[in-house]
Structure 1
């Protein structure tokens, strides 16, 4: 599948005295899942609305390939989007909702039933949307986005309201989209919700870009840590302090922050300190995320 790049170029949105999005620039490439991350109120939804032509920018532009979303002859066939799980007519059935959109993207009634089955709502096709749970509405929003089998998928907080099984399902689906060569942009206010499924991360706060890289590169910015059990934890703690590392008691051992397990092991060996257990602690990406998005951060 040939999918276009999404390009956000100097995008700005002013609502009265409030600058919701401030000179935002980043790109989203095909063949990867990009997590669009930031706390609630960071400007994520406003950015997505400008990308989809629902909100007019104060400055800058958002491109889908070489043009703005609305400039595509049939934009709904290029970008499939789900922004709000509440934007459904409560009196329509799930199937009826999709049938309203089907002519706009040039698909049949059979396709409506096909995507309902794909998102696990075939059993509720004749049920009125007003009786759907939040998780079911999330699935219906995804079905709407997939109607035209578009090369670009844009989802706003897609795991909200899903049970654990549904979260695993959406993660697998996102990975499948990327493997098919689609351009996938998914927003979340928590990194841990999308960490298992994204390749790239774009972090914003207060409408401004704070970080953009691969997830692997972001991990290198997180502080490493190791868990150590030693018969003389006091001696080990002194060694850690001398090396500029910090230690915290955890059960029978110590968590050493600021060093990898290999570094702790090498230092203990050189100092002749006996260790009974030494394991790597996964980097705390969530802590780094909060550090990147704190109000006083200046990046």
Structure 2
């Protein structure tokens, strides 16, 4: 089912003297997986709860396809959401768990079996949930959100507690839902590493405010190249990097150059006849970029 855009516009929410969400605005488009990122306490869950009509905003709007959640005629057929770890009766089978939800969503027993197959639990449909692994429970929770065949999926920390195999499966499944089926997929996480191989776009918040919104590729580009140069001719290298406008600092045994990659530094050194004993890339990783964006005490990152 084709998804609809999620639009957050100047959304604000206070809990007493604490401002949980502060004039937050961003858009989530269909056909891509969008990561909603921020440290614990950044306001992610509060934002999602306002989107789903569970918390009233103090100001601003949160809409799906131009409509507030409360105004959507058949919400389960439009939005599938999982905002916390799903609760399962351990004595029920996977199929019976979905059968409990089916009348509320307005779907048949056949649909219950169908979504179990989609999430890889078809062979386990008659097994009791009490014997499921955490990864199987996460799959069953996702099957529950898919019962109404919604075009929009809103998932809060879906990879939390999954083993590596489960995370790989989740990544492929979410990308299939977005890229192949055109659904809108919004995935929150406080750990960039959990979602960086999954998402296409990123929305990063801290302290309830937007600090970054872009395709993931733009966030990757913010990770600056750093090259450690080991050389007996430090003065000659200082002249080289100054001439090219590269940032640098002196370190033990040589220089740390910021901007170019090792190949570019090596070529420049060869062109100037400078002796080098070693080059090693030591670029800033995505996690460091994420920490700098979400913690102003760590300094600014140029967008």
TM-score range, shorter chain: 0.7 to 0.9
Partners of 2:12 and 2:280 in 1: how far apart? 46
Q: Cα gap change, 1:277/1:66 in structure 2, threshold over 3 Å: closer, same or farther?
A: same
Q: Cα gap change, 1:166/1:248 in structure 2, threshold over 3 Å: closer, same or farther?
A: farther
1:244 and 2:253 matched: no
Deviation, 1:256, is 4.4
Partners of 1:3 and 1:13 in 2: how far apart? 27
Match of 1:114? 114
Deviation, 1:207, is 1.0
Match of 2:61? 61
TM-align CA RMSD: 2.9
Q: Cα gap change, 1:269/1:25 in structure 2, threshold over 3 Å: closer, same or farther?
A: same
Tell me how many residue pairs correspond in the alignment.
296
Match of 1:193? 194
Partners of 1:222 and 1:31 in 2: how far apart? 26
What SS is found at the alignment partner of 1:135?
helix
| More deviation, 270-279/186-195 | 270-279
| More deviation, 101-110/138-147 | 101-110
Contact kept, 8 Å, 2:32 with 2:182, in 1: the verdict is yes
What SS is found at the alignment partner of 2:33?
strand
Partners of 1:171 and 1:59 in 2: how far apart? 34
**CA offsets per residue over residues 18-49 of structure 1, 9 Å max, x none?**
11111110000111111000011111111111
**CA offsets per residue over residues 231-273 of structure 1, 9 Å max, x none?**
7485787568754224778xx9987444333541343133312
| More deviation, 238-247/9-18 | 238-247
Match of 1:142? 142
Partners of 1:240 and 1:98 in 2: how far apart? 67
Partners of 2:68 and 2:213 in 1: how far apart? 22
Structure 1, unmatched stretches of 5+, are: none
Q: Cα gap change, 1:142/1:113 in structure 2, threshold over 3 Å: closer, same or farther?
A: same
Match of 1:82? 82
Contact kept, 8 Å, 1:248 with 1:256, in 2: the verdict is no
Partners of 2:254 and 2:91 in 1: how far apart? 59
Contact kept, 8 Å, 1:224 with 1:260, in 2: the verdict is yes
Structure 2, unmatched stretches of 5+, are: none
Partners of 1:279 and 1:75 in 2: how far apart? 54
Contact kept, 8 Å, 1:135 with 1:160, in 2: the verdict is no
